[in-house]
Amino acid sequence: MTSPIVRFAPSPTGRLHVGNVRTALINYLFAKGQNGKFLLRIDDTDLERSTKDYEDGLKTDLNWLGITWDDTFNQSDRFGNYDAAVEKLKSAGLLYACYETPEELERKRKIALSRGRPPVYDRSGLSLSDTEIKAFEAEGRTPHWRFKLSGDRVEWNDLVRGPQSIDTSSVSDPILVRGDGSYLYTLPSVVDDIEYGITHVVRGEDHVTNSGAQIEIFRALGGTSPDMAHTPLLIGADGQGLSKRLGSLSMMELSKKGIEPMAIASLLAKIGTSDNVELKPSLEVLCEEFSFDKIGRAPARFDEADLYKLNAAILQEMEPSLAVAKLAELEGFHTIGAPELFWDTIKGNISTISEANDWIEVVTGKIQDTDLSEDQDYLRAALEHLPSGAFDLETWSSWTGELKAATGRKGRGLFMPLRKALTGLERGPEMNRMIVLLGEETCRARLEKAIV
- Residue 421 to residue 64: CA distance in whole angstroms: 42
pLDDT digits (tens, 9 = 90+) for 359-377: 999 999 999 999 999 999 9
pLDDT greater at residue 48 or residue 84: 84
Nearest of 383, 382, 329 to residue 360 by alpha carbon: 329
C-alpha distance from residue 414 to each of 222, 241, 376, 401 (Å) = 81, 49, 13, 9
Q: Does 247 score more than 90 pLDDT?
A: no
Q: Does 408 score more than 60 pLDDT?
A: yes
- So what's the pLDDT on residue 240? 81
- So what's the pLDDT on residue 391? 96
Give the residue extent of every domain in the chain.
Answer: 1-75+232-317, 81-177, 373-450
Mean pLDDT of 417-442: 97
Q: What would the 3-class secondary structure string for the chain be?
A: CCCCEEEECCCCCCCCEHHHHHHHHHHHHHHHHCCCEEEEEECCCCCCCCCHHHHHHHHHHHHHHCCCCCEEEEHHHCHHHHHHHHHHHHHCCCEEEECCCHHHHHHHHHHHHHCCCCCCCCCHHHHCCHHHHHHHHHCCCCCEEEECCCCCEEEEEECCCEEEEEEHHHCCCCEEECCCCCECCHHHHHHHHHHCCCCEEEEEHHHHHHHHHHHHHHHHCCCCCCEEEEECCEEECCCCECHHHCCCCEHHHHHHCCCCHHHHHHHHHHCCECCCCCCCCCHHHHHHHCCHHHECCCCEEECHHHHHHHHHHHHHHCCHHHHHHHHCCCCCHHHCCCHHHHHHHHHHHCCCHHHHHHHHHHHHCCCCCCCCHHHHHHHHHHHHHCCCCCCCCCHHHHHHHHHHHHHCCCCHHHHHHHHHHHHCCCCCCCHHHHHHHHHHHHHHHHHHHHCC
Confirm if 192 and 186 have CB atoms less than 8 A apart: no
List the Cα angle 201/203/208 in 5-degree steps: 90
Q: Does 244 score more than 60 pLDDT?
A: no
- So what's the pLDDT on residue 2? 82
Confirm if 249 and 9 have CB atoms less than 8 A apart: no
Q: Does 382 score more than 60 pLDDT?
A: yes
The domain at 81-177 falls in which architecture? Alpha-Beta Complex (3.90)
- Residue 181 to residue 9: CA distance in whole angstroms: 22
Is residue 237 very low, low, confident or very high in pLDDT (cuts 50, 70, 90)?
confident
pLDDT digits (tens, 9 = 90+) for 409-426: 999 999 999 999 999 999
CATH class of the domain at 373-450: mainly alpha
pLDDT digits (tens, 9 = 90+) for 274-320: 999 999 999 999 999 999 999 999 999 999 999 999 999 999 999 99
Backbone angles phi, psi at 319, to 5 degrees: -60, 135
Is residue 1 very low, low, confident or very high in pLDDT (cuts 50, 70, 90)?
low
pLDDT digits (tens, 9 = 90+) for 11-44: 999 999 999 999 999 999 999 999 999 999 999 9
pLDDT digits (tens, 9 = 90+) for 192-214: 999 999 999 999 999 999 999 99
Mean pLDDT of 88-109: 96
Nearest of 156, 99, 150, 93 to residue 124 by alpha carbon: 99
Q: Does 246 score more than 70 pLDDT?
A: no
Max Cα separation, the chain?
108
pLDDT digits (tens, 9 = 90+) for 315-344: 999 999 999 999 999 989 999 989 999 999
Fold of the domain spanning 1-75+232-317: Rossmann fold (3.40.50)
The yes-or-no answer to whether 1-75+232-317 and 373-450 have a common fold is no
CB atoms within 10 A of CB 151: 11
